[in-house]
A and B are shown apart, each in its own frame.
Chain A
């Protein structure tokens, strides 16, 4: 199935590097008064059940990746992307010392028949040559997760890497392992 030869090739990716915050989260970089940060609120005051997600990005040696940046993209409580008044996108950065991050949003609705609620995550950092796509599913959505067509593509032994564990009321824990025994599933999206 050859591509037409006159098509352009996609611009090659390069790592976001260690100073990604200057451009994408300037306040975290320590810059005041140039640009306001974008993406600090994912759901704003949209209707829906409020949830908190926390976690770390962890490298192949078990060390937290404190210079990562994660983008979140999600549907609203009714399962709609980009509905009027709902951006559904945001940026999350870890604590520079501990690598711990957390974000507040609303629980997304199912985006179609048989599709389990999920968040789309995109991870960039120094040492990551091209942004990594993954998904977060909710550990308390067992039946919906069992029926989800994307989770069904994932080999049994790795499916759990995409499922956030309930961590107190309306809270979830989701560690992203870049490499190793518990390596998270990443998608060619």
Chain B
């Protein structure tokens, strides 16, 4: 079935989410709409969304160390577990939702036909994975910590180590793509993409924390990254002004 069609969601907080135009991140200059978003009343088109199941995700799809590796091989790099929970704004778990991730390898090189960075590809690493959250909203990936990489923004721009995450939730209104960074990375405060977020607290929310308890001794360091999707509207929408 197509999600919970009668549920309205809390409006997005546009002082917290990144604005479209953030000139320090140069590509936004020609790709940011100039008009404000038009506020939609809740309709079934956004209050429903696709449902994914075990036909879409195989066991092992969340193991990036091995899902592109030759038999007996694994990816090179710092072995990590990235895990956390997906909840809504009231802290309710979001079970059975699809999370997809993609990332560079340990040297900062992406397995993509348009990435020409001189760092080498790892023959045993593709950098993509997917998983469904469990009944408690929990998810986990096993991968390598990605490397920083340079990008043509300013004369000397480097992305911090990051993993891209795509999350569906139960409705298209909750659809979200984000990036998680790693605790203590000194590149984070210099990154124009991170700085697209106006609120320092929002930037901090994207930093995955070292999670010693979940670390597997003599195997993998663990990082925790929890995800919050829009929650049910606290009040009826109809009395709110349209537009923004």
Residues of A that sit less than 8 Å from B by CB: 1, 3-4, 7-24, 26, 29-31, 33-35, 38, 59-61, 63, 65, 67, 71, 73, 75, 80-84, 87-89, 96, 111-112, 115, 118, 120, 122, 124-133, 135, 149-150, 153-154, 158, 178-180, 183-189
Contacts and interface: CB of A to CB of B under 8 A. Distances in A.
Which are the 7 A-B pairs with shortest beta-carbon distances? A82-B2, A23-B102, A127-B27, A89-B50, A127-B31, A129-B18, A188-B37
B40 A179 contact: no
Given A16-B177, A128-B31, 11 more contacts: A12-B206, A19-B114, A23-B100, A38-B130, A75-B44, A81-B44, A127-B25, A129-B25, A150-B43, A184-B33, A186-B38
Contacts of B111: 22, 29-31
B164 A12 contact: no
Contacts of A71: 175
Most buried by B among A21, A87, A122, A130: A130
Interface in B13-41: 13-14, 16-20, 22, 25-35, 37-41
Contacts of A3: 10, 234
A8 B2 contact: no
Interface stretch (B84-92, B132-140, B182-190, B216-224): B84-92
B142 interface: no
B130 to A, nearest CB: 6
Contacts of A87: 50
A23 B38 contact: no
Which of A15, A59, A111 counts the most chain B CB atoms within 10 A?
A15
Contacts of B148: none
Given A35-B67, A188-B11, A10 B44 contact: no
- Overall SS of chain B's interface: loop
B31 A125 contact: yes
A120 B13 contact: no
A179 B90 contact: no
Contacts of A7: 10, 89-90, 231, 234
Q: Give the one of A7, A34, A135, A183 with max B CB within 10 A.
A: A34
7 contacts: A12-B16, A33-B126, A61-B30, A120-B46, A127-B32, A129-B28, A150-B43
Contact of B44 (A12, A61, A112): A112
Contacts of A29: 111-113, 128
A14 B178 contact: yes
A124 B176 CA distance: 10
Contacts of A185: 35, 38
B196 A33 contact: no
Contacts of A10: 10, 12-13, 16-17, 89, 176, 228-230
B93 interface: no
B244 interface: yes
Given A10-B229, A12-B18, A187-B40, A126 B89 contact: no
Contacts of A129: 17-20, 22, 25, 28, 32, 196
